[in-house]
Structure 1
Amino acid sequence: MWQTTSLPMAIGSLPYRTAEPALALIGREMPLIPHWPQLPLRGAQEGFVLQNLNLLMEVGILERDGEKIVFATDAPDWPDRLAAFYMVYLAVEEGDEDALSQFAMPKEAATGFYAFLDAMAAGTGDAVCLKGQVVGPLTAGFQLTDRTGRPAYYDEQIRDVIVKNLAMTARWQARALTAFGLKTLVFVDEPGISIFGQSTYITVTREMIIEDMNTVLEGIRAGGADGGIHTCAAVDGSILFDSHTGVVSFDAYDYFDSMLPYRAELKRFLERGGVVAWGIVPTSEAARDETPEKLAARLDAAWVQLAERGIDRETLRNQALITPACGTGTLPEDLAEHIYRLTTEVSRLVRAE
């Protein structure tokens, strides 16, 4: 990674129905590390399945069942559908770049992504890094089910398909973003990590989670970008810091204390050059009552706690990004815009110290 020196960055989703106002906000508030905007309010076509797992729809591994999309494990030709997927996957592994394009996000499912590519082609401006994002395997594996309602992550075969598909989609996205010649970060958005340790998910092991995330991160690196992991709830921080990620992004506004037990892992992560994206700006109505000064002081208090426990204060600052706690895709537009402005101003205050 590089010394990020507390630059501002955002998470991904915005509450617009077209790309133009989203790109305008990003260009205005996040010019140094612009991201492509996810636009969930455009409808179901912008959901994570079509954005990240479209090939599985095309080969029939996933199919529509009324209002839902399910894994068609009961299809008589299920083995043939699996074989069709693995044929494309193996072709990419053997160096077929044309096969990689089959893992592309469809234009109708990622309006913001393609508008972002067009904007960057017209000029990258002050950008020093571009940011993208893909859904995490755990999150996808528990939101999708077979026709009986069983979460896909519990099926070893389907889990393998999900992980391999996401690794290739991430690789394709990284390849597209790195074409502009700038440093590129692609994040694995993995809020699903928060299930780890809950009694109802006892069969999901730490090793499974790390292995699957690392596979997707390897796909990002194969595409020429650096990888990060984003989560927005209280999680076992050791899973994040012990993975192969270069950046850990978390909700530092509500869940900073949940990271304190993992300060040894955090220290090792920083020593190997890792970066922490501090989600210090709340992505809720609470943001309306915050000021840049209050949030900068809140972050400073967190860093003081870590410094008192043996983590160098300057290292924290130099290997930091300042972000909102999570995406803003379901918030009112004016609140999302306020959150982006707060993020930029907090970053400015921290860097001025």
Structure 2
Amino acid sequence: MPIPGNLLTTAMAVMPHTDVDRALETALSLDIPFWLQLPLYSYTEDMYVQASEHFPGIVLDMEKRTLRFSMEKFIAEFEEAMAHFEEPDYFDISEAYSVVYHRFLELDLSDRPAIRGQLEGPISFGLNVVDQDDRPILFDDTVRPFMLEFMARRINVQLARLKERNPNAFMFVDEPGLQFLFNAMAGYGDVAAHADMEGFFAMVDRPRGVHLCGNPDWDFLLSLDLDILSLDVYSNGEVFANYAPSIRRFLDRGATLVWGIAPTNFEPFERENLKSLEARLDEIWSALGKKGIDRDFLLSRSLLSPATCCLVNPDREKTVEKAFLVIKELSRRLRERFGL
């Protein structure tokens, strides 16, 4: 089944909540719900920590809230990891690493148009986790191929679990690090990264896609074999609209775009309203229409979401929850306006 479009609602996973019930209620308020990552509730709910479970060589300090890598530890633990490589449970997120994930799996989600999961992607994980020499493990030619296959298996196991709850489940690969990739050193540039990402997604089951809040090379991203792309168009919409040929090819393949439009940061949220956000989308969609992308077709392959994650608001979860309400109302207005 294709991923639904028609301006239904979903959102990113990282939330500022410390109350699991309230967080789940917020996620379930949207058309396409998801399990949440709540790093302020527990460090094990952090997206990088969750991706690191059972990864050989990881040095996790819960007290200092740090995640690092040791090559010596990697060598010592590698054989043990390979002994479990054909065991699906080994690659799933355990309850010790996410209470929220397992609570989500207990819910009856069969009546939803789709549900969604996520895992930190290999580029971002590899850039964020550094070794004993403070060098990102992404640049290590020994670790990187293993990391790509390890993360692909983790995504596939989670997707299989979610499909048991709803056959239209799909996965986001969270890749905030993609916007920094082209500034990376150590000789790992766009050509090598593109080949690695193509190989990575060849190992990942469908439906699968990328979520990020930054501003990467959109041609690079849109050329990957994805089923869905989630982005912050509130901040990057004008730039994104300049990539109409790549966007058109992406949509023509049957893929879906998630338009992140409602800001979750306190100050920009207070400056906006439904009318202004609708006008922003109209401007972007009109620009794409002038470049040959039919609006009806575009909307049929579009979802709406808040623009970004946000953990730093002075009111914690309140503005984020308001952004969810805005997205729901904006979806209702636009679906009514366009007869969806």
Q: Which residue of 1 aligns with 2:213?
A: 232
SS of match in other structure, 1:345: helix
8 Å Cα contact 2:138-2:144 kept in structure 1: yes
Q: Tell which deviates more after alignment, 40-49 or 333-342.
A: 40-49
Q: Which residue of 1 aligns with 2:271?
A: 289
| Residue 296 to residue 192, structure 1, CA distance change in 2 (3 Å) | same
Q: Is 1:43 matched up with 2:39?
A: no
For 1:23-38, list aligned pairs within 5 A.
23-27=24-28, 29-30=29-30, 32-38=31-37
For 1:1-353, list aligned pairs within 5 A.
1-27=2-28, 29-30=29-30, 32-56=31-55, 60-64=56-60, 67=64, 68-75=66-73, 78-89=74-85, 92=86, 99-119=87-107, 123-124=108-109, 126-198=111-183, 200-201=184-185, 203-221=187-205, 225-285=206-266, 286-331=268-313, 332-353=316-337
Counterparts of 1:208 and 1:86 in 2: how far apart (Å)?
A: 26
Structure ranking higher in helix proportion: 1
| Residue 12 to residue 80, structure 1, CA distance change in 2 (3 Å) | same
What amino acid is aligned across from residue 78 of structure 2 in structure 1? Answer: L
8 Å Cα contact 2:49-2:67 kept in structure 1: no
Counterparts of 1:176 and 1:325 in 2: how far apart (Å)?
A: 27
Counterparts of 1:217 and 1:33 in 2: how far apart (Å)?
A: 23
8 Å Cα contact 1:136-1:213 kept in structure 2: no
Counterparts of 2:160 and 2:202 in 1: how far apart (Å)?
A: 13
| Residue 211 to residue 344, structure 1, CA distance change in 2 (3 Å) | farther
Q: Deviations over 1:17-75 (max 9, x none)?
A: 13210111222x31x2011111111132222343112111xxx4212479433222135
SS of match in other structure, 1:132: strand
Aligned residues: 331
RMSD, aligned CA: 2.0
What amino acid is aligned across from residue 205 of structure 1 in structure 2? Answer: G
TM-score, structure 2 as length reference: 0.91
Counterparts of 1:216 and 1:128 in 2: how far apart (Å)?
A: 27
Q: Tell which deviates more after alignment, 337-346 or 205-214.
A: 205-214
Counterparts of 1:230 and 1:87 in 2: how far apart (Å)?
A: 32
Counterparts of 1:242 and 1:146 in 2: how far apart (Å)?
A: 31
| Residue 22 to residue 216, structure 1, CA distance change in 2 (3 Å) | farther
What amino acid is aligned across from residue 73 of structure 1 in structure 2? Answer: M
Counterparts of 1:177 and 1:215 in 2: how far apart (Å)?
A: 24
What amino acid is aligned across from residue 305 of structure 1 in structure 2? Answer: A
SS of match in other structure, 1:156: coil
Shift of 1:210: 3.1
Q: Deviations over 1:145-174 (max 9, x none)?
A: 111111111101111222122111111110
Q: Deviations over 1:64-106 (max 9, x none)?
A: 479433222135xx545223323433xx3xxxxxx11101112
8 Å Cα contact 2:3-2:170 kept in structure 1: no
Counterparts of 2:40 and 2:125 in 1: how far apart (Å)?
A: 19
Shift of 1:339: 0.7
Q: Which residue of 2 aligns with 1:96?
A: none
SS of match in other structure, 1:183: coil
What amino acid is aligned across from residue 115 of structure 1 in structure 2? Answer: R
Provide structure 2 residue ranges, at least 5 long, that are not aligned to the other structure: none
Counterparts of 1:128 and 1:184 in 2: how far apart (Å)?
A: 9
SS of match in other structure, 1:234: coil
Counterparts of 1:170 and 1:21 in 2: how far apart (Å)?
A: 26
| Identity %, equivalent residues | 25
| Residue 133 to residue 2, structure 1, CA distance change in 2 (3 Å) | closer
What amino acid is aligned across from residue 61 of structure 1 in structure 2? Answer: G
Provide structure 1 residue ranges, at least 5 long, that are not aligned to the other structure: 93-98
Counterparts of 2:271 and 2:111 in 1: how far apart (Å)?
A: 31
Counterparts of 1:5 and 1:214 in 2: how far apart (Å)?
A: 28
TM-score, structure 1 as length reference: 0.87
Counterparts of 1:219 and 1:19 in 2: how far apart (Å)?
A: 32
8 Å Cα contact 1:283-1:324 kept in structure 2: yes
| Residue 204 to residue 258, structure 1, CA distance change in 2 (3 Å) | farther
